[in-house]
Amino acid sequence: MTFSRRPLLQALMGAPALLSARANAQAGRKVIRSVPIGDLRAFDPIWTTTYLTRNHAYLVWDTLFALDATNTPRPQMVEHYQTSADGLTWTFTLRAGLLWHDGHPVRPVDCIASIRRWAQKDGMGKALATVTAGMDVVDERSFRLRLNRPVGFVLDALGKIDSTVPFMMPERLALTDANTQISEVIGSGPFVFRREQWVPGVKVVYDRFDRYIPRSEPPSQAAGGKVVKVDRVESLYTPDAATAMNGLLTGELDMLESPAPDLVQRMQRSADLNVVSNDPLGYQLFCALNHTLPPFDNLKVRQALLAGIRQADFMQASVGDRTPWRECGAIFGCSGTETTQFRELGWPEYNPDRARAALVEAGYKGEPIVLMDPADNASLHPGALVMADAMKKMGLNVDLQVMDWSAVVQRRASRAPANQGGWNAFVTNATLTGIANPLLNTFARTCADAWFGWACDARMAPLVEAWTYETDPAKRQRVLKQVEALHIEAVTLIPLGQYRSLIAYRKSLKGVIPGPALFYWNIEKS
């Protein structure tokens, strides 16, 4: 299968694009033409955790609270809030004048329904739901959250920045079953999704919402005033990395959300481009394993796999020497002051021959390993190739199946046998902001709450609960390390190293906001 669409994209970004640009200029309209990390097929940010959908959602929807540049929760849709002396009652009042894109006012009942739907899918949301006694409307702009025990993460939960983000939706959409996609894309955020102009596999269009009321504070990561300074954002799916780069160099495109690592050096030489690390903390690359199918349903096979993994190989292939990276054995990532923690957490020494022998001892009999390869995703495709090579060196029978990232996102939900539309492994990534602890890290959830791969270790839940409600910082850190060591012992998923991601954009864009997601407000186009 090939993902080159040069004729289509050259037509899209050639003469018609130039004519469109001239027409927009004549009309005084400013349009940002951006290349996303994949083909947007899932529009519901509660139904899926993929960052492609999360980035889309930040244009369309808004949140009650948001994290600023210091990762402190700040009011966003909320004007003010109060907490009772015993910490059991939280009252939130919405800002005046908030509207949905269909013109209806944002109501407290919308927010209550949205919180309930989000809490069915998100780890931190589920933790909040377990201590929630109820939610009820106070008046036309206020609602109340009642707890049965005080907890310290209410604002952190409502203001979380990474998947799954608690975006607020109209009640009629928020009442959709959390395992079913919503039928409309109606938000109250700074941009309106133009469904009638959506061309699957080609482009997604967003127009500025003229009736959006930004906050008065300056923008700071996902918080503050979301002032839109352009008329439109066009997200143009461009799977061919060279075509995307050439479009950026010539000015037919304005931004690449995930430039191909092997083309970064050429882009850095251009006086017209900024190639920068936009996320202050960066990403962790990891390999997801299907715990429900042979051979990775066998703990001994998963443990043998670790001995054949060398993170430096993945980092060199994925980001090379032009982007900061480091090895890290911890499922929740390593801070700048922490060591790699391989030995502390129980990683075996790298030895492919030992891994091969351990696989035989574990009973591996040559079953095919369906490894999904998102060839259109410049961040993940190299890692998939390195994983295939590493598995082959260990003696695994690898069936590397090439597809686009959106196909991976759909297929990873399948529990079918690997040769009937299911899978055994795939490489993906997560922001360090979004994986820093057991409540945030969607990918490390287990058993009934497990993410794709459906890992289950009954020993995990009591430790996570102990960490959630522990108030002593030193004890909390010790429990966190116990959770991390247990994840490595169970090989829930395999960390492959952490790195700073890059974005590339023309210098005609000013005001790009750093953060773990792509934000299109505050950007000026000259």
The dotted CATH code for 62-174 is: 3.90.76.10
Say whether 345 sits in a helix, a strand or coil: helix
Structure tokens at 7: 């004729």
- The helices-and-strands tally (H runs, E runs) of the chain is 18, 23
Structure tokens at 195: 């469904």
- Cα 396 from Cα 379, distance rounded (Å): 24
Residue 444 DSSP code: G
What's the pLDDT score for residue 2? 39
The dihedral formed by the CA atoms of 179, 440, 516 and 218, expressed in degrees to the nearest 10: 100
What's the pLDDT score for residue 321? 82
What's the pLDDT score for residue 27? 60
Q: Taking Cα atoms as reference points, which of 40, 38, 45 lies closest to residue 181?
A: 45
Burial readout 13-44 (b: 16 or more C-beta within 10 A, e: otherwise): beeebeebbeeeeeeeebbbbbbbbbbbbbbb
Domain limits of the chain? Answer: 62-174, 283-499
Q: 283-499 architecture in CATH?
A: Roll (3.10)
Burial readout 87-112 (b: 16 or more C-beta within 10 A, e: otherwise): ebebebbbbeebebbeeeebbbbbbb
| Residue type at position 143 | F
What's the pLDDT score for residue 24? 53
Which are the contacts of 117, defined by CB distance < 8 A and separation ≥ 6?
A: 46, 169, 174, 175, 176, 178
What's the pLDDT score for residue 10? 47
Separation of CA 104 from chain center: 30
446: burial class by Cβ within 10 Å (0-12, 13-18, 19+)?
buried
Which are the contacts of 128, defined by CB distance < 8 A and separation ≥ 6?
A: 119, 151, 153, 154, 157
Phi, psi angles (nearest 5°) of residue 77: -75, -20
Q: What region, left, alpha or beta, does residue 453 occupy, with left being phi > 0 and alpha being psi -120 to 50 degrees? A: left
| Angle (deg, nearest 10), helices 6-13 and 241-250 | 20
Per-position pLDDT tens, the chain of length 526: 334 444 444 444 443 444 454 455 446 799 999 999 999 999 999 999 999 999 999 999 999 999 999 999 999 999 999 999 999 999 999 999 999 999 999 999 999 999 999 999 999 999 999 999 999 999 999 999 999 999 999 999 999 999 999 999 999 999 999 999 999 999 999 999 999 999 999 999 999 999 999 999 999 999 999 999 999 999 999 999 999 999 999 999 999 999 999 999 999 999 999 999 999 899 999 999 999 999 999 999 999 999 999 999 999 999 888 789 999 999 999 998 999 999 999 999 999 999 999 999 999 999 999 999 999 999 999 999 999 999 999 999 999 999 999 999 999 999 999 999 999 999 999 999 999 999 999 999 999 999 999 999 999 999 999 999 998 999 999 999 999 999 999 999 999 999 998 999 999 999 999 999 999 999 999 9
Which are the contacts of 428, defined by CB distance < 8 A and separation ≥ 6?
A: 285, 286, 287, 288, 380, 408, 443
